[in-house]
Amino acid sequence: MLKHQLLHPEISAILARAGHHAKVLIADGNYPASTKLGPNATLVSLNLAPGIVTVSQVLQTLLTAIPVDEVNTMGIPADDPYAQHGDPPVWADYRKVVSDAGLKLELKPISKWDFYEAVASPDHVLTIQTADQSLWANVLLTLGCRTN
């Protein structure tokens, strides 16, 4: 019987095999998940219908089950029209989810093209594809160490 919120058997199995520094991508509905995948990563599609499920929902669930050292978002290039609007609104949701999980982690944006490179890393073990319609909603988690 599990005590945390994560019930998905395939995601649980992948995370159980992952170690310190492993990377997990929670991808929004616009992310090219089928072509931007690390060589050791598995793609799990949870995109049922537009907006179901969201990155925030997956993030909240994962944080009940795994230790996390770093939370990266996909940074917006300066020449993108959206860059003039500041942080995407969904990032405030992520900050709240992280804080509510009792973590003292800051969101660290990685520029778009460097984000794709980070996902291409051999440390990338899992992409969870959502149907989140928010712009710039991708989150890359770096797993931490279990301390108890």
Q: Are strands 139-143 and 68-75 parallel, antiparallel or unpaired?
A: antiparallel
Taking the C-alpha atoms of residue 103 and residue 141, their distance in angstroms, rounded to an integer, is 13
Q: Map out the domains of the chain as residue ranges.
A: 22-143
The CATH number of domain 22-143 is 3.40.50.1000: no
58 SS3 class:
helix
* Each residue's pLDDT tens digit, 17-70: 999 999 999 999 999 999 999 999 999 999 999 999 999 999 999 999 999 999
The answer to whether 23 touches 119, Cβ cutoff 8 Å, is yes
Taking the C-alpha atoms of residue 65 and residue 144, their distance in angstroms, rounded to an integer, is 12
**pLDDT score recorded for residue 137:** 97
Taking the C-alpha atoms of residue 96 and residue 11, their distance in angstroms, rounded to an integer, is 23
**How many residues comprise the chain?**
148
Taking the C-alpha atoms of residue 145 and residue 148, their distance in angstroms, rounded to an integer, is 9
Query: In this structure, what DSSP letter does residue 49 have?
Result: B
- Between 2 and 86, residue with greater pLDDT: 86
pTM of the full structure: 0.95
The reply to whether omega before 68 is within 30° of 0 (cis) is no
